[in-house]
């Protein structure tokens, strides 16, 4: 893609109304634009990062046998009344609810359990066509009084939510743990290696225990307790021990840390099915309520989390798997025509290249490259051309490598 045609607008200075690192760096790098607190536009660079994350999540959701759909965001009151959640004071705190001019009541989606169940109940359900597993990527709305953390806490944000319906608790349990493993693969693939699976209380959603996926981070607003030896971890709502106490599972030492929640998984049992009068036929032909599970990943939040983790004083340092591009190609001095030729040959091979074709000073172009944080910067200049070469530098490293022009494609292909 050509820089000059891609609506990339970087800024030298921090935006005055943002305190969160993720918002400051993403706005300066031209990834997002702020509409109001907790509400951002994804610009072309930011949307490419989002789409790379989305594709990783999609691959892992398909791998556990779930199908992708898209559910509406505008919900009629009646379906939410069936579970009693429309009038629940905790729900009213976070759900945008309003009347249209013709006095009909609607809410904006903050989750989709009722809508998923409404979709599946229109089909005859039997033990033969369960489980059902469907997911979507879609916008969620949440009336958020503390929207000051950039993409970490939005009034409007994108989630991946998966819903599953099962004939037995055992089958729900089995799938629940499969999704847990799939989530850990997602976080590993986007570059987050230290995500903990934390036992949590269900809050407004369910009376049983749930699990949160928490990334240990100094900017996190959650607190978790975890063992320094095994995978035992709990959040502060259910933790009753003290720091330094022995881990109840292995005897190791319990530590405390602040963390950011990046995902969560719930087992609702039959509560919602019963409230909505949904049954399936078991193998004896009897009607039974099916078991519901629900599994979320904060997708736009993940972009913010990655920005918090992968940066230095010069800007972003994206992991290869989610970087907006793999290669940032630029030219210095009179080497534009040669660089343009190189761009065309790389583009023909479908390489993931941002071509900075702007007539700007070296200082501007190199500091923009650092701000945007693409993993590999390729410079074509009179000096490198004199050696039939380009200069390659990895973002965040001081090492510069000269690579011959005719060897560049194969050099770059090894990165993909
Ligand atoms: Zn332990």
Whether 272 and 335 map to the same domain: the answer is no
Cβ(195)–Cβ(214) below 8 Å: yes
- Measured between its terminal Cα atoms, the distance across the chain in Å is 17
340-344 average pLDDT score: 96
207-235, pLDDT tens digit by residue?
A: 568 999 999 988 888 889 999 999 999 98
Q: 222 CA distance to ligand 1 centroid (A)? A: 21
Q: 231 CA distance to ligand 1 centroid (A)? A: 6
The residues whose Cβ lies within 5 A of ligand 1, an ion, are 227, 229-230, 232, 247, 249-250, 252
- From the list 212, 216, 221, 153, the residue with the least C-alpha distance to 184 is 212
231-249 average pLDDT score: 84
Q: How far, in Å, CA of 20 to CA of 152, rounded?
A: 9
Whether 147 and 207 map to the same domain: the answer is yes
Q: CB count, 10 Å around CB of 331? A: 28
Phi and psi angles of residue 193, each rounded to the nearest 5 degrees, phi first: -90, -15
pLDDT at residue 209 in the model: 80
**CATH code at 346?**
3.40.50.800
Domain span at 179: 11-219+256-312
Q: 233 CA distance to ligand 1 centroid (A)? A: 8
The answer to whether position 6 is within a domain reads no
Mean model confidence pLDDT for the chain: 94
Task: Answer with the one of 312, 333, 350 that is the final residue of a domain.
Answer: 312
Q: 210 CA distance to ligand 1 centroid (A)? A: 19
Whether 293 and 329 map to the same domain: the answer is no
Strands 209-216 and 254-269: antiparallel
Residue the block writes with tokens 């941002």:
354
26-51 average pLDDT score: 97
Q: How far, in Å, CA of 337 to CA of 203, rounded?
A: 61
The strand ranges marked E within 10-104 are: 32-36, 39-42, 67-68, 74-76, 97-99
306-322, pLDDT tens digit by residue?
A: 999 999 999 999 999 99
């Amino acid at each position: 893609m050509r820089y000059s045609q891609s609506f990339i607008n970087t800024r030298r200075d921090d935006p005055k109304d943002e305190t969160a690192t993720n918002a400051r760096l993403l706005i300066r790098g031209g990834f997002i634009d702020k509409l109001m607190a907790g509400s951002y536009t994804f610009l072309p660079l930011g949307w490419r990062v989002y789409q790379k994350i989305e594709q990783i999540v999609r691959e892992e959701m398909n791998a556990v046998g779930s199908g992708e759909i898209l559910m509406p965001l505008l919900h009629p009151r009646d379906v939410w009344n069936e579970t009693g959640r429309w009038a629940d004071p905790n729900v009213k705190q976070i759900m945008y609810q309003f009347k249209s001019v013709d006095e009909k009541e609607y809410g904006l989606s903050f989750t989709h359990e009722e809508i998923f169940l409404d979709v599946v109940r229109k089909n005859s359900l039997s033990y033969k066509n369960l489980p059902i597993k469907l997911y979507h990527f879609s916008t969620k709305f949440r009336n958020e009084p503390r929207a000051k953390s950039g993409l970490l806490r939005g009034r409007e944000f994108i989630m991946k939510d998966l819903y599953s319906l099962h004939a037995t608790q055992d089958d729900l349990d089995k799938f629940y743990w499969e999704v847990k493993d799939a989530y850990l693969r997602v976080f590993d693939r986007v570059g987050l290696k230290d995500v903990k699976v934390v036992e949590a209380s269900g809050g407004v959603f369910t009376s049983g225990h749930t699990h949160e996926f928490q990334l240990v981070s100094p900017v996190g607003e959650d607190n978790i307790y975890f063992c320094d030896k095994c995978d035992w971890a709990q959040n502060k709502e259910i933790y009753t021990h003290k720091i330094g106490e022995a881990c109840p599972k292995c005897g190791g030492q319990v530590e405390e840390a602040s963390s950011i929640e990046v995902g969560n998984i719930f087992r609702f049992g039959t509560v919602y099915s019963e409230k909505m009068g949904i049954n399936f036929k078991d193998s004896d032909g009897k009607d039974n309520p099916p078991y519901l599970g629900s599994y979320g990943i904060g997708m736009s939040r993940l972009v913010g989390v990655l920005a918090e983790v992968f940066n230095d004083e010069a800007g972003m340092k994206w992991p290869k798997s989610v970087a907006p591009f793999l290669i940032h190609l630029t030219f210095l001095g009179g080497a534009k025509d040669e660089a343009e030729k190189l761009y065309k040959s790389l583009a023909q091979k479908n390489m993931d290249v941002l071509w900075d074709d702007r007539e700007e000073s070296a200082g501007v172009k190199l500091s923009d490259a650092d701000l945007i944080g693409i993993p590999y910067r390729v410079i074509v200049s009179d000096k490198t051309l004199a050696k039939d070469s380009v200069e390659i530098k990895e973002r965040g490293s001081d090492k510069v490598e000269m690579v011959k022009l005719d060897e560049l494609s194969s050099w770059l292909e090894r990165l993909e």
